[in-house]
Structure 1
């Protein structure tokens, strides 16, 4: 059993508990009812995280096309400089 397999649940529980505790401390006093809310937030985060399986690895994305079509007009990619003679050579 590795800590890495539980890291998603630990982070979810810590963030839910921290959020609930910071909300409860809005008036600088944490009542017993607010501690119950903090505990329920932590337990809910752990339960939801445990119920949702990790996604399978997806296939790698294909390489980006060198041209795009916008409104029926084919253009180069945005990072490709325009191929016009009025552009300085160092900017082509």
Structure 2
């Protein structure tokens, strides 16, 4: 059993054959190397996590934060998330 600090490290551990298998986010699929085979988890066992976006009350650059948030929520931003394997639940 291995516990790593990041999903990236778990994928690297599998790719370098330091470990036999790992359960990671679907989005890590784009990082898989030659030694890694992605096997999807059956839907009844999936736990979908929502990742919200917001601006902190005490942000020192609220204008920049708002521009970034608006970009993430734009069609272009959403398409970037989709490109890397994220599933957009709500816009």
Structure 2 length normalisation: TM-score? 0.24
Which has the larger helix fraction?
Answer: 1
Which has the higher Rg, Structure 1 or Structure 2?
A: 1
Which has the larger strand fraction?
Answer: 1
